[in-house]
Chains A and B, each alone.
Chain A
Amino acid sequence: MPSVESNASGASPQHTSPNEEVMKSIYWTMLKIRKFEERAVELFMAQELPGFLHSYLGQEAVAAGVCSCLREDDYITSTHRGHGHVIAKGLRLDRMMAELFGKTAGYCKGKGGSMHIADFSIGVLGANGIVGGGIPIATGAALSAKMRKSQQVVVCFFGDGASNQGSFHEAANMAAVWNLPIVYLCENNLYAVSTAQERHQKIRDISVRSTGYGFGGITVDGNDPIAVHRAVAPAVDRARRGEGPTLVECKTYKWLGHYVGDPGAYRPKEEVTAWKAKDPLPRYERYLAEEGVMSKLEMESVQQCVWEEVEAAVDFARRSPSPTPEDALEDFEG
């Protein structure tokens, strides 16, 4: 019987912090996500990108922190707001950007777009356009890992909105009864589209729901990547040891509206301002500097590299060939 950890906010005291290498890599990841998203938003507003964009700006610490706990062959399932997740898991910025542009060089050959980015070779089982749609799939991947005895773990990202989907309930219950190697990672950014959390569920801490299924849950500050790491790492270990699922709730906030272009008038301005003031990136930079992990110079050089990488990605994407109309029929049987 796995030990049930109740919803405590804050890090689990038993686990150690990540080492310096991991901490630096977390920083890289957060920056990549931040720069990529900023650039994507710009391009989208300039109408270079078709479709929708659901920006991850503001939530970088969650993805970076979570994925710093994972092996390359571990799986993640992502959401419509998934750029952060997949970058953190290791997707290349150029091929991601190409996918946003709808080019054949993109990860999905232009067939999926922002909401369906995937790279199966590194365990990214796809972002999903259906809210809660990836949760049963993640559970199935965990079942498969268990049946194959592969020691792989699945992290299933989803939001506060998805936590109300029947699919979450069904999948979590099934994972519990079969002891599946999965971490249900709830990014609670306080809004499901335009509906504030207090209007869409009675509870405040989503992690309490884990008790309903018979496994442990924990709530952490999602804007603190180290806290996230310290909550997720033990959950991943438990899963890998065959001790079943954990629900980890990361409290965070998205800066832009539901989609790029949504003014987000449903959110009080003060709220937005207050959260932006708690921008996880400068906060982490300060932490890194204080802990002596990275100097300001080092950070600036990382920033420069990341910026260049992002620009190169944009360039790559722009120069990539567009698909032909008939490409629509490729990779498809009937």
Chain B
Amino acid sequence: MPVLGLTMTEGSITRWMKQEGDFVRKGEALFEVETDKALAEVEAPEDGMLLKILTKERSTAQVGATVAILGAAGEEGAAIVAERPQTSVHDQQQDLSTASKSSRSAAAKRISPRARRLAEEHNVDWGCLEGSGAEGQITEGDIQLRVAETKKADAVLPLPRIRQIIAERLTQSQQERAHIYLTTTIDMTEVTSLRTRLMEHTPTQGVGSEITYNDVFLMTLGICLMEYPWMNSSLTSEGVRLHASANVGIAVVLEDDGLVVPVIRDVQRLTLKHIADVRQALVKRARERRLLPDEMTGGTFTLSNLGMYGVEHFTAIINPPETGILAVGAITDEPRVLQGRIRIRSVMRVTLGVDHRVVDGALAGRFLQRFQALLEKPSQLIKGEK
């Protein structure tokens, strides 16, 4: 087993190109080796007959170990096995230096002995480094830098518990569900001006929260989910549970990495203003990591908004045990055709993700259509206001 890389200690033979009894010429490919980096072909070092294969395909051998015997026709392959000593460590070191020498000669790089020693200590492949010394010589400093950099890139941080949970849940969701995604572009011009008007009002109505787009979406979802109970469901072993309330979770990104989904309960019953209050309080507590367990469970649907990052469109993964999730993008001005004319409108793309095990495309489409319609004519939303 030859040395095929500075750090290689063993290789796995993936394929023998020749069989026992075959005559091979010097230079012909004998077998293929898989190392931690790549696949490599090993050639016959001399002419001869492949008398015995000692390491079969898909077996591993240490660097320096005999993997096969090549000899003159008629020689006893098995007998020779007993005679051949394993390559000593010293030879391995020799091979190492010749291997590294040959791989270096291509680069023809100069390196000081001190730097070389440091590089070998820290497993730095200096052949690809640019030296800062005279005539491009690689210096001790260059190696130290490299070591420091490598250390940075290779920092291994333990996964925080919260990420572990998220990871588990997302994976679970992906595996369980048959996700399908439906996207539509919603004309938000009315909502935008409505929101502006509401904002103008709000301060005079005393202490309260600013009404955000998310609040509008939450309210709209509340209405839609009541109208399409299958969108507000969970698939259990007993069957599809249609939830009585719309408890919509809103995805909140935490500062130091992590995602939490506080749940606003009974959205369908709340006024826009209430929604805003509740939402604000929850998000605040979420960011402070002070959410109560009740506030993070019992969700029936989730809203995820990446519009603040300028994201046009994205697909979100359904939060188990829910059946649907709405991914909302940025509101931008675009030219739209209205009544045969081109107008500049504020538009937003939303992508509805549904579990196709429970809901099929048509239903999802109708749900989405309703959502869109409500937002495009938002006066209906504030029917309940005042």
A and B touch in the complex (CB under 8 A): no
